[in-house]
Amino acid sequence: MPQEPTHQSAQAPIQTAAEPPQSTLSSQQREAEQSYLARLRAKIQSCLRYPMMARRLGLEGSTQLRFSVHADGSVGAIEVLHSAGHHTLDERAVATLQEAAPFEPPPQGKVLNITVPVLFSLQKGE
């Protein structure tokens, strides 16, 4: 049976970790970057699968990852900033990001440093 996608919190959006001050970006550049990040989030979420063993054990948590997206859309070093508290969930979060890559090239061809929470949450009654 295929693993079902988990839910990713809408309140915890993907964001650039080292954004320039808002005054240095035009509104058009900000919109392009926000649109890019929304597409990136959707691609990551589409690859996200709950580890079967974690589901059986009732493990939940949120892994926060930091990574860079290069001008060609490839992903640089992936770092776990905050663990979900379960090695299985952290490993799955990193694997999900690797499976989602490569991404489309970032706006203006610049390298983006991105921080993303990957939420593993079981719904009641599953």
Domain boundaries, the chain: 15-120
Q: Would you say 98 and 75 are in contact if contact means Cβ atoms under 8 Å apart?
A: yes
pLDDT tier, 23 (very low <50, low <70, confident <90, very high otherwise): low
Beta bridge partners of 66: 79, 115
89: burial class by Cβ within 10 Å (0-12, 13-18, 19+)?
A: buried
* Res 16 pLDDT > 60: no
Q: How far is Cα of residue 78 from the mean position of the Cα atoms in its chain? A: 11
**Inter-residue contact 117 to 42 (CB < 8 Å):** no
Q: What is the mean pLDDT of the chain?
A: 82
Tens-digit pLDDT profile for residues 56-91: 999 999 999 999 999 999 999 999 999 999 999 999
**Residue of higher predicted confidence among 10 and 116:** 116
What is 15-120's CATH number?
Answer: 3.30.1150.10
